[in-house]
Chain A
Amino acid sequence: MSNVSIIGIGQTPVKEHWDKSLRDLAVEALLAALKDAHTEKVDALYVGNALSALLGGQEQLGALIADASGMRGIEAFKIEAANGAGAGALHVAYLAVTSGLYESVAVVGVEKMTEAMNGAVTAAVSLAGDGDYETMLGISPTAVAALLMRRYMYEYDLVAADLAGFSVNAHANAAGNKFAMYPRAISRDAYVNAKMIADPINMLDHAPYADGAAALILSATDRLNGNGARAVRVAASTVATDSVSLAARHEPLWLSAAEASAQKAYAHARIAPNDVDLFETHDAYSILSTLQLEAAGFAERGRGALLSRDGDISLTGKIPITTMGGLKARGHPVGATGVYQVAEVVQQLRGEAGKNQIADARVGMAQSLGGIGATAVTHILVN
């Protein structure tokens, strides 16, 4: 068990922020987190972001955001791991505190995507794939997810509607999240009849790209400075990788990086899957939640989708997932997503999740993926 706690969280609404820049969003989330932690400054800042160069014409986000948030001078830089960037930044912050180098560290995940045209956004997110053997052939992450979903349905004799429960659950939960992009329920029929993007993946299976920022303040647990009551301990922070291209994987339908990072996280936290009270999955597509539930030990191989059919993933189910709406309905500002997931776990463990509160939540897990599972970052938090 580590000596690191999260003592502050901040989130901006996830939506099309036409009136706010990337810098504005990052500062808004950071200042909210600092206020929540009852502090004004930290020793270092790590920024999770995937696309600022391509879509915003801006790099060197560390120095930029440290200055803009009133912390000019501190150590700061950006972490990139495609849509796993935010969780990757949290992992680096965790290392900085556990190393003893710093007592308090901030993480902000930020992404600004809605200023670009759809084709440019699709091209930008496609850089998460293997440049020579996927991206240059016109193969987007959605296409890769579609290849996985079709094969999964073929091998386990399912139809797309068998996965509808993931999206239905995410949207139902988003209705209780004031930061969510689509806070309203959808029906199974709406999912089944949604416009196709890359069959079998349709509009209601694909998390919407958006603008947003979320921030966390980490502190060495023996230096909580009066923040003890609201502190949530980081019991594990682990990262594993797989091949970037889907074709190079030993078993395409098995997310080995997700399995490895989850297993390491269980070992560090000294818990088992059945100790987990809620699991924030990386539901950029329903097939990813499906495969993560299997890789992290909540379902047998080929049985992950069935958890969505029988209500096991709902707020009162056996393993609640995407409890505040997930990527699908809270919205998916890609490099910020991993930080939103952890902020939502903190809300649950503090008992501040409102009508989405999981009863007696004590252990929460979040797993963020870069690309279609090439990077997997797992965090386990304990109250």
Chain B
Amino acid sequence: MDLARNWRLKNQRYRLEGNACANCAAKYFPPRAICDNCRGADFASFQFSGRGELYSFTTMREAPSGYEGNLPYVVAMVKLDEGPMIEAQMTDVNSDELKIGQRVEMVTRKLREYGENGTIVYGYKFRPAVNGSGK
């Protein structure tokens, strides 16, 4: 199920690949076809560092079917150091210890399994920066 879709998203899921506008240098994750800033249509791919700061977070106690096994899980919005925001699950964390503004970094983790064959989907999650600043 969704095999081609998951394959198609591999550069975003595993490497945080977005793009940068050739005209005004605005950076995007996920990649865009038309620049939201200058309406340019010429882009180069851009790999984000995966580092940023916590903009907001919540702990989910009810989940969509397929994600119940992860409950409770923390969802966050992160402001990446290069500018864009990204939404993702947090991992390796006790939500009581999270604070808006703290440094976080991207890691690769299992997102979910599905189908009779137990297909595993991997992707990005975020965790508190291990070396303190995360820089």
Contact = CB atoms under 8 A, between A and B. Distances in A.
Contact of B85 (A123, A137, A247): A247
- Which of A140, A151, A198 has the most chain B CB atoms closer than 10 A to its own CB? A198
B67 A147 contact: no
Majority SS at the chain B contact face: strand
A146 interface: yes
A139 B9 CA distance: 17
Interface string B22-60: 000000001000001000000000000000000111111
B109 to A, nearest CB: 11
B68 interface: yes
B30 A139 contact: no
Contacts of A198: 58-62, 75
Interface stretch (A114-122, A214-222, A305-313): A114-122
A133 B87 contact: yes
A140 B64 contact: yes
Contact of A137 (B36, B62, B89): B89
Nearest to A134: B87
A133 B75 CA distance: 12
Contact of A132 (B30, B66, B73): B30
B128 interface: no
A124 B101 CA distance: 32
A142 interface: yes
Majority SS at the chain A contact face: helix
A138 B62 contact: no
A199 B57 CA distance: 9
A301 B109 CA distance: 38
Contacts of A147: 55-58, 75-77, 87
Given A150-B56, A154-B100, A246-B77, A252 B66 contact: no
A126 interface: yes
A292 interface: no
A120 B63 CA distance: 9
Contact of B87 (A117, A118, A126, A245): A245
- Which of A139, A142, A248, A252 has the most chain B CB atoms closer than 10 A to its own CB? A139
B111 interface: yes
Contacts of B73: 138
A170 interface: no
Interface in B93-129: 100, 111-112, 121, 123
B75 A139 contact: yes
A138 B70 contact: yes
A196 interface: yes
Nearest to B67: A138
A50 B5 CA distance: 23
16 contacts: A120-B65, A122-B62, A126-B64, A132-B30, A136-B121, A137-B88, A138-B63, A138-B111, A139-B87, A140-B63, A143-B58, A147-B56, A147-B57, A150-B57, A247-B85, A252-B55
Interface of B: 5, 9, 12, 30, 36, 55-68, 70, 73, 75-77, 84-89, 100, 111-112, 121, 123
Interface of A: 117-120, 122-123, 126, 132-140, 142-144, 146-148, 150-151, 154, 196-201, 245-248, 250, 252
